[in-house]
Structure 1
Amino acid sequence: MLTSKSSRPTPERLLDAAEKLMRTSGLANATTKAIAREAGCSEAALYKYFANKEELFVRVLMERTPNAGPLMAALRTGPGEEGEGRDDGDERAEGGAEGVEAGLTAIARHASLFYADAMPLAASLFAEPTLLTRHREGVQEIGAGPHLVLDALAGRLRRELEAGRLRPDADPRAAAALLLGACFQRAFFLHFSGAHVVQPVEEFAPAVARTVWAAIR
């Protein structure tokens, strides 16, 4: 008979177990049966709270990695909101422009750290094509996926374009892809080659944001 390992609610125990196994054994080996066993409950109980293993993976990413929440908050916030209520015309526009670059810097910093934390969790998927396909379908089933970060940043930049803070011919989605792609590449180099081949994130983030902003402002 399975017994509870702690007084924590079952969903939290399942997330604890999923995070532990995904970090130590890899996503491919973190089966729902193993997660339930680690949490001290039945596999049926797992499916009472989570649609599939992919939902557990997404929840671990978004709730158990330190930069996921700040990244999503930075993607939602726009300098246009910060400047509301001011009447000083040009000064407001300039402040808005500076705010866009500062916002992009925050996004680049959080995205770099988030990708660095997330990459080892998902890496084992790519060794098994069948598992990768199943994971992709499971993530789509719950309406999630890594493309949502790109969609959110492209949407934010599109609003800046509509506010007149971007060049009329700027492509918000391409700019978002350039910034996030650089952050993802930094995470790959960090894990593959080591910290000595990448800039410290506090130098990298403003440099990438400044370069992207200079191209589209």
Structure 2
Amino acid sequence: MESVQKPARVRILDAAHDLLLTVGLARATTKEIAKTAGCSEAALYKYFASKEELFVRVLGERLPRLAPLLSTLTAEPGAGTLEDNLTRIAEQAALFYEQSFPIAASLYAEPQLKRRHDDALRTMGAGPHKPIEALDAYLRAEQTAGRVRADADTFAAASLLLGACAQRAFAYDAGPEGGRPPADVFAARLARTLLDGISVAPEATRPRP
């Protein structure tokens, strides 16, 4: 039985994901992505306006889904325990940065290319600052719900948690143990430590019935 070929958009995203992981964002061209996907470069541009848009779609559709998790939790402040929620966020973020760091790292070797890339992302309303803003929004929602201290700096807390997750992808391989701690263990430790600084009294952090 003849196999059904995947739709062109799916093939392009798959090819982009594979190439971005192997050669990095700076070296992956739309021409090579289209060739790998088995379509023309013109066909690629029917679905994606630029390589930057393709990069954003790969992050959103092929990597761990951090943004949807943050959106869901922000819409339901008070649900679950704060520790469990922060642990889920930290684990997703750790996996997201683990997979996205190899893709974007090559940009930092080419400052002019990185500036053009950043300008394009700003035009699209995207960029690496967005997860920090989304986590800040979630923590502010929990602040309003009374589970985060009123005087807590939620933006700094968001930056600390996501910064630690990014460092796990960047720095831990060079450590004495020569590898990253498991994402779930790392996330649990990070959430507990962050809670010490921002949560209200334990009895006030229980989930609503």
In the other structure, the counterpart of 2:8 is 10
1:75 aligns with 2:70: yes
**TM score, norm. by length of structure 1:** 0.82
Structure 1 unpaired stretches of 5+: 1-5, 84-95
Look up the match of 1:165: 147
In structure 2, stretches of 5+ residues that fail to align are: 200-209
SS at the partner of 2:114?
Answer: helix
CA contact (8 A) 1:189 1:197 kept: no
CA RMSD of aligned residues (A): 2.2
Kindly indicate whether the alpha-carbon contact (under 8 Å) linking 2:21 and 2:102 is maintained by their aligned counterparts in 1: yes
Supply the AA of the counterpart residue of 1:49: Y
On the 8 A contact 1:80/1:160 being kept in 2, the answer is no
Partner of 2:27: 29
Specify the alignment match of 2:106 in structure 1. 124
For residue 79 of structure 1, report the CA deviation from its aligned partner. 8.5
8 Å Cα contact 2:77/2:142 also seen in 1: no
Name the structure, 1 or 2, with higher relative contact order (CA <8 Å, separation 6+). Answer: 2
| Alpha carbons 2:31, 2:41 under 8 Å: kept | yes
1:80, CA displacement in angstroms? 8.3
Which of 32, 36, 39 in structure 2 is aligned with 1:38?
36
> How many residues are paired up?
196
Change (3 A) 1:177 1:197: same
Q: Match for residue 52 of structure 2?
A: 54
Name the stretch that deviates more: 181-190 or 194-203.
194-203
| Structure 1 range deviating more: 173-182 or 73-82 | 73-82
Q: Percent identity?
A: 53
Q: 2:186 aligns with which of 198, 204, 209?
A: 204
Amino acid at match of 2:110: E
Residue of structure 1 equivalent to 2:203? none
After superposition, the C-alpha distances for 1:117-145 in whole angstroms (9 at most, x for unaligned) are 11001111111112111211222222211
CA apart distance, 1:40? 2.4
